[in-house]
């Protein structure tokens, strides 16, 4: 199952800064204001969910 996050209410954009997950420049901001690619956050969330279920 693929995780899809909805950032329409909390995400934002800013100047390119290193993604907190992969380190490549990201303009996307998490709802917490951290620079992160949406796909990186979705992969991280799915990985954590799988570990919690196992």
Q: Please, what is the average pLDDT of the chain?
A: 86
Give 39's pLDDT tier (boundaries 50, 70, 90): very high
Give 7's pLDDT tier (boundaries 50, 70, 90): confident
Number of domains in the chain: 1
Q: Is residue 37 part of a domain?
A: yes
Residues 37 and 26: their CA atoms lie apart, in Å, by 6
pTM: 0.77
The number of beta carbons lying within 10 Å of the beta carbon of residue 19 is 20
Q: Is residue 2 part of a domain?
A: no
Q: Please give the residue that has the higher pLDDT: either 21 or 53.
A: 21
8 A C-beta contact, residue 50 and residue 1 = no
Q: Is residue 32 part of a domain?
A: yes
How remote is the C-alpha of 25 from its chain's centroid? 13
What local confidence, expressed as pLDDT, does residue 44 receive? 92
Tell me which residue of 43, 44, 19 sits closest to 29, measured CA to CA. Answer: 19
Count helices and strands (H / E) in the chain.
Answer: 1, 2
């Amino acid at each position: 199952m693929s995780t899809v996050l909805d950032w329409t209410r909390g995400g934002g954009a800013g100047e390119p800064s290193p993604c907190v997950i992969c380190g490549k420049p990201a303009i996307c901001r998490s709802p917490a204001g951290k620079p992160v690619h949406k796909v990186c956050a979705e992969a991280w969330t799915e990985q954590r969910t799988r570990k919690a279920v196992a």
